[in-house]
């Protein structure tokens, strides 16, 4: 029977980094498990191409939430099911968060997770096209760039944003102040750079690294309070794999799910699902925080922007031909061309809202699960999210089978702070589009509409017609307390040789998009593991 030194469950943003960093030591053996397949589909290379795979269950996990909002509708949360995980299908925006976010982790009692610990990690794997600086890295495997030939409307939106009080910057990660600029993204020469591209593929030739795809983890094997392996189901059926150290890197939905299926979690949840209690841990699956993206959409008074290029068969064909010839155009850009950060509440001590703008528009959110399509009529979209939500949701299993549905309670915008920040942010977003030169391009606001003004109506508009940020955290949160699921070495309290290393360990939200921070957290965790 083969026993690996490390078994990593999940080949997403965290798992790919862990596989790379741990297998760099030739003395140890590493097994990486991934439920999805290899990332060979050509659409996974095209930055906006992954959108055409969102409904494909071969490449995506789909989870339905419980009903929420004024109309009590459910929505689907999606995650990547392929090597690279969600980094292979995401919007590619690369934010690192702000210094106080990481220093705040340390102040909560998590030693070794301050900004001075994480900045060298970021710099070590970055290859920033703007060159090296005290806070930027070059020469690493993760290429960072900005759009090469943005639509002219982007310059007009940037000009309007500066008139609305934001400072234009070249690199949005070079400052923690109010700012706006082109979105930094994980794109190299018009092609996606996923965690699999940057970290896993360079390590695949190592004899001490084994990668098993299409292998679903069903349960953690636990003997006498010690994790000894995993029960999996792969192409050859069910099997047990054994390891001296088990690392769960399945994300904020599937990591708590696996722990609960293995008998680690809230007693009442496990009993209701018919799972024997191995270790009662009240906060497994609890304390989840997620960004709710509020939106403002506008109709343009001329046929400008991306809608005409990507909403019709002819436009898509021409745009596709341009991309294939030049690696440029809308298909070669991140989800949003422009990113800004603003302080929207006077009582906030730092930037508290993120703004993302693009020269295209989506129709109102479809609550029936149908794919979202680009509108044909020309438009602009602006999304915003309260950076550090305090509202808490939960994830619970509903049965003992790995195929049983998850119960996901988003609990978006239930705290007074989140509601006030979201309303203030929507007003700041509108203020940008009231400025020249973009104001002269606008015919009218299509959502939420000119009659929506009060705080409660603005918040309702975010719940009714907004979007999930796909940045869930906290369901296996780290901290110094006995009730925290993992400690600051990400070891599961009460079970030896078991760690959770992914976005679920964050006790509070790191400001911005999470792909970059999770790669850094995994690299830092690997550093600590090898050091220990």
> Per the annotation, where are the binding residues for FAD?
82, 217
Handedness of CA 524, 525, 527, 528 (dihedral sign): positive
H-helix or E-strand containing 420? helix 416-433
Residue with tokens 């988003």: 410
Measured CA to CA, the distance from residue 348 to residue 421 in angstroms comes to 9
Backbone angles phi, psi at 369, to 5 degrees: 85, 5
Distances (CA, A) of 310 to 24, 151, 426, 435: 43, 13, 27, 27
Q: How far apart are CA 190 and CA 147, in angstroms?
A: 9
Whether 471 sits among the annotated catalytic residues: the reply is yes
Secondary structure (H, E, C), 285-346: CCCEECCEEEEEEEEECCCCCCHHHHCCHHHHHHHHHHHHHHCCCHHHCCCCCEEEEECCCC
Query: Per the annotation, where are the binding residues?
Result: 82, 217
Phi and psi at 63, nearest 5°, equal -130, 135
Interatomic CA distance for residues 380 and 382, integer angstroms: 7
Residues 6 or more apart from 216 whose CB is under 8 A from it? Answer: 35, 232, 233, 234, 402
Residues with Cβ within 8 Å of 285's Cβ and at least 6 positions away in sequence, in order, are 256, 257, 259, 260, 265, 266, 269, 394, 395, 396, 475
CA distances from 251 to 161, 162, 488, 503, 506 (A): 35, 37, 17, 6, 11
Angstrom distance (rounded) from CA 345 to CA 331: 36
Question: Strand, coil or helix: what is 488?
Answer: coil
The single residue of 41, 98, 143, 471 carrying the catalytic annotation is 471
| List of residues 6+ apart from 40 with CB closer than 8 A | none
Among the listed residues 244, 248, 252, the one whose alpha carbon sits nearest the alpha carbon of residue 262: 248
Structure tokens belonging to residue 228: 């000894």
| 237 phi/psi in degrees, rounded to 5 | 100, -160
Centre a 10 Å sphere on the Cβ of residue 21 and count the other Cβ atoms it contains.
Answer: 21
User: Angle 428-429-432 (CA atoms, 0-180°, nearest 5)?
Assistant: 90
Residue 507 burial (C-beta neighbours within 10 Å; 0-12, 13-18, 19+): buried
CA distance 462 to 295: 7
Stretch (H or E) spanning 218: strand 216-223
3-state class of 123 per DSSP? helix
Q: Going by DSSP bridges, is the β-strand pair 30-33/353-358 parallel, antiparallel, or unpaired?
A: unpaired
Catalytic residue positions? 471
């Amino acid at each position: 029977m083969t026993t690996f030194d490390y078994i990593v469950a999940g080949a997403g943003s965290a798992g790919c980094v862990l596989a790379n960093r741990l297998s760099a030591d030739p003395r140890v053996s590493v097994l990486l498990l991934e439920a999805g397949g290899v990332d060979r589909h050509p659409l996974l290379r095209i930055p906006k191409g992954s959108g055409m795979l969102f409904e494909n269950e071969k490449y995506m996990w789909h989870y339905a939430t419980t009903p929420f909002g004024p109309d009590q509708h459910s929505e689907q949360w999606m995650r990547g099911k392929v090597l690279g995980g969600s980094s292979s299908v995401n919007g590619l925006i690369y934010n690192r968060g702000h210094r106080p976010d990481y220093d705040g982790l340390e102040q909560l009692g998590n030693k070794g997770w301050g900004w001075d610990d994480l900045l060298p990690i970021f710099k070590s794997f970055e290859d920033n096209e703007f060159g090296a600086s005290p806070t930027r890295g070059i020469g690493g495997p993760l290429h960072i760039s900005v759009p090469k030939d943005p639509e002219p409307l982007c310059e007009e939106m940037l000009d309007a944003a500066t008139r609305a009080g934001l400072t234009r910057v070249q690199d949005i990660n070079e400052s923690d102040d109010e700012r706006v600029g082109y979105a930094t993204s994980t794109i190299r020469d018009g092609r996606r750079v996923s965690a699999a591209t940057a970290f896993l593929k360079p390590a695949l030739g190592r004899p001490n690294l084994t990668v098993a795809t299409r292998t679903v983890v069903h349960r953690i094997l636990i003997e006498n309070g010690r994790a000894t392996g995993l029960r999996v189901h792969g192409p050859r059926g069910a099997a047990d794999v054994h390891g001296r150290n088990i690392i769960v890197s399945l994300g904020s939905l599937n990591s708590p799910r696996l722990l609960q299926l293995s008998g680690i979690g809230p007693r009442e949840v496990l009993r209701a699902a018919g799972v024997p209690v191995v270790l009662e841990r009240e906060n497994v699956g609890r304390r989840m925080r997620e960004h709710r993206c509020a939106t403002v959409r506008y109709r343009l008074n001329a046929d400008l922007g991306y809608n005409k290029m990507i909403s019709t068969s002819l436009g898509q064909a021409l745009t596709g031909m341009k991309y294939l010839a030049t690696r440029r155009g809308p298909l070669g850009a991140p989800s949003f061309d422009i990113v800004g950060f603003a302080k929207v509440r006077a009582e906030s001590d730092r930037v508290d809202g993120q703004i993302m703008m693009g020269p295209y528009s989506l129709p109102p959110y479809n609550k029936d699960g149908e794919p979202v399509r680009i509108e044909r009529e020309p438009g602009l979209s602006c999304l915003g999210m309260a950076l550090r939500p305090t509202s808490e949701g939960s994830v619970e299993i509903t049965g003992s089978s790995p195929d049983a549905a998850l119960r996901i309670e988003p609990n978006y915008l239930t705290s007074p702070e989140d509601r006030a920040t979201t309303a203030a942010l929507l007003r700041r977003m509108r203020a940008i589009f009231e400025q020249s030169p973009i104001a002269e391009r606008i015919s009218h606001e299509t959502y939420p509409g000119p009659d929506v003004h009060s705080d409660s109506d603005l918040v309702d508009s975010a719940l009714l017609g907004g979007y999930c940020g796909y940045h869930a955290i906290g369901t296996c949160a780290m901290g110094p307390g006995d009730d925290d699921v993992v400690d600051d070495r990400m070891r599961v309290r009460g079970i030896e040789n078991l760690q959770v290393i992914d976005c679920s360990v964050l006790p509070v939200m790191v400001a911005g998009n999470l792909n970059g921070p999770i790669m850094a957290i995994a690299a830092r965790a690997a550093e600590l593991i090898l050091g220990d």
